[in-house]
């Protein structure tokens, strides 16, 4: 008989939803899972749950990463996680335990459900799309096919190879199951393959390892079973990955349909300030890259804000305010709110213009009305305003960085406009673990290094020693704009890629084009 009591407590008391987050692509999250995330008071998620899935969480929801990632030791023990779930539900919270894939496929969801049952906590299980099925599907590998396979099995590769052999009957599996899918087996792949072959598997059986299945960063390595560990090692394929063994793998040549991002698997060092890095990181992830953020720049308000405050207090003196960066938008909006002038800034009487799509996005996020935008740099913006006769005889307020370039001001004045600038924010150097950075550079942990400002280039260069500076030649060095490229060259760092415009999508495309050219030449 169904245990109706497990779902009756959803109204006013605490309730637990054991939710499968799917394999990574947020488009594969179920409708019920998305509803649970919107309505939750508390979400306890595994480390492998993607940020795109967590974006579905309600604005006021408390989110905690409990740190369970495949073979790695969790931040909290399983017992501590179960205790947290029960205690939170007892306090009346709606708790979502968010797990990668499906809660009941090697997710320890059964143990957490049992903990709720023992404590008398009502709960539900929201199944998720398991990577055991989704990763092969996105790689063009059906786990069953009438021509090749009528059965499949999903097994886990345990961190202790001895326990693997005792818990999994490899000889029976390889002799009776047509397709074998192994999850969490990357660490012990060589041992697992040896045991399969010892159990009777043909060493020439087609096999594949699929990393980051369903994501733009998905990568697939194919090889004969006996050669798969070496092929994975040579490709530097990383976990999480699903391993598929069976003749269905041969269908990938015909059925591969999913196009990963152009930067799939590329590790990119992002040196932008944290306030700006999220935009670049999202763009890189969409292209399949793995961004690694180590900010070289931080921002703070200028110490003397008299010029900004005067401009905000006398906004009626101006015809337009121009922003050359998203930082200028954020800092001016914050100062306007502090001084009680934001309503006057946002009422639409004062025209607002900006340079670049990212700056335009920042204007919209702050709730300001945007009247014009230059899709490239200062020259594009000025050319557009001149064409529309929106400069001559007009007064412009230009809040900017303390060390801001005067190109925009110079061109506005040359076109007949009057300009008043105001230092708004300043650059500072954040603390960086220089020794760790140098070690990672020497170890080749970064395929691409991205710099978006001369300040970031200068700080990065100051942290290097002879060995790490020499190691930079093994990475692709990329600059956003010629000014940043020149600053890198002044520091003795050769620049491989310069994005011509301050547009993030153009930057990732320029990097992808360069890497493609390198592959073609080699």
CA 87 to chain centroid: 32
CA distance 289 to 266: 5
CB crowding 133-150: b at 16 or more within 10 Å, else e: bbbbbbbbbbbebeebbe
Question: How is the beta sheet containing 395-401 ordered, strand by strand?
Answer: 298-301, 418-428, 395-401, 320-323, 351-355, 372-374
CA distance 244 to 265: 20
Tracing tokens 């110490």 back to the chain, one arrives at 303
- Inter-residue contact 360 to 371 (CB < 8 Å): no
Which residue in the list 46, 102, 447, 496 is annotated as catalytic? Answer: 46
19 - beta bridge partners?
98, 126
- Inter-residue contact 195 to 165 (CB < 8 Å): yes
Q: Which of 244, 287, 271, 219 is nearest to 427 (CA)?
A: 271
Residue 234 parent element (H or E): helix 228-235
**What are 384's two structure tokens?**
């557009």
- If one counts every other C-beta atom within 10 angstroms of the C-beta of residue 426, the result is 15
Which residue in the list 25, 41, 60, 68 is annotated as catalytic? Answer: 68
Secondary structure (DSSP) of 126-158: E----HHHHHHHHTT--S-BTTTBS-EEEEE--
CA distance 447 to 124: 44
CA distance 107 to 100: 8
CA distance 274 to 326: 13
68 is catalytic: yes
CB crowding 250-274: b at 16 or more within 10 Å, else e: bbbeeeeeeebbbbbbbbbbbbbbe
CA distance 182 to 244: 7
State the catalytic residues. 46, 68
């Amino acid at each position: 008989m169904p245990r109706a009591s497990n779902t009756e407590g959803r109204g006013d008391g605490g309730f637990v939803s054991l939710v499968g987050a799917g394999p990574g692509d947020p488009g594969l999250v179920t409708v019920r899972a998305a509803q649970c995330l919107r309505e939750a008071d508390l979400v306890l998620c595994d480390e492998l749950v993607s940020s795109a899935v967590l974006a579905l969480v309600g604005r006021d929801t408390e989110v905690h990463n409990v740190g369970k990632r495949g073979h790695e030791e969790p931040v909290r023990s399983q017992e501590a996680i179960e205790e947290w779930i029960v205690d939170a539900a007892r306090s009346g919270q709606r708790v979502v335990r968010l797990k990668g894939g499906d809660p009941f496929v090697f997710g320890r969801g059964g143990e957490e459900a049992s903990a709720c049952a023992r404590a008398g906590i009502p709960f539900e299980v929201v199944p998720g799309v398991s990577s055991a099925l989704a990763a092969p599907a996105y790689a063009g590998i059906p786990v069953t096919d009438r021509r090749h396979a009528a059965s499949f099995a999903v097994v886990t590769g345990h961190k202790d190879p001895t326990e693997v052999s005792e818990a999994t009957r490899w000889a029976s599996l390889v002799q009776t199951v047509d397709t074998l899918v192994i999850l969490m087996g990357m660490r012990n792949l060589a041992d697992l393959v040896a045991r399969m072959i010892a159990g009777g598997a043909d060493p020439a059986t087609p096999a594949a390892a699929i990393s980051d299945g369903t994501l733009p960063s998905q990568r697939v390595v194919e090889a004969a079973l006996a050669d798969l560990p070496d092929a994975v090692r040579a490709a530097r394929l990383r976990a999480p990955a699903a391993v598929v063994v069976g003749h269905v793998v041969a269908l990938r040549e015909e059925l591969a349909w999913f196009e990963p991002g152009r930067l799939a698997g590329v590790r990119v060092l992002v040196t932008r300030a944290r306030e700006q890095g999220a935009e670049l990181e999202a763009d890189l992830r969409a292209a399949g890259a793995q961004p690694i953020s180590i900010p070289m720049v931080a921002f703070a308000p200028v110490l003397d804000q008299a010029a900004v405050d005067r401009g905000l207090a006398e906004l009626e003196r101006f015809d337009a305010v121009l922003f050359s960066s998203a930082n200028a938008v954020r800092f001016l909006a914050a100062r306007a709110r502090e001084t009680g002038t934001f309503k006057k800034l946002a009422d639409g009487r004062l025209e607002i213009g900006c340079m670049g799509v990212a700056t335009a996005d920042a204007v919209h996020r702050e709730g300001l009305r945007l009247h014009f935008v230059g899709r490239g740099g200062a020259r594009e913006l000025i050319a557009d305003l001149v064409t529309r006769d929106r400069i001559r005889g007009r007064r412009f307020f230009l809040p900017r960085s303390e060390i801001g370039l005067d190109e925009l001001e110079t061109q506005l004045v040359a076109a007949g406009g009057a300009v008043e600038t105001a230092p708004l924010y300043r650059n500072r150097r954040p603390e960086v673990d220089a020794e760790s950075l140098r070690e990672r550079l020497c170890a080749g942990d970064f395929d691409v290094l991205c710099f978006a400002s001369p300040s970031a280039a200068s700080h990065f260069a100051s942290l290097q020693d002879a060995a790490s500076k020499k190691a930079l030649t093994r990475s692709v060095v990329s600059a956003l704009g010629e000014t940043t490229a020149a600053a890198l060259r002044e520091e003795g760092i050769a620049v491989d890629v310069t994005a011509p415009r301050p547009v993030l999508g153009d930057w990732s495309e320029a990097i992808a084009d360069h890497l493609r050219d390198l592959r073609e030449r080699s």
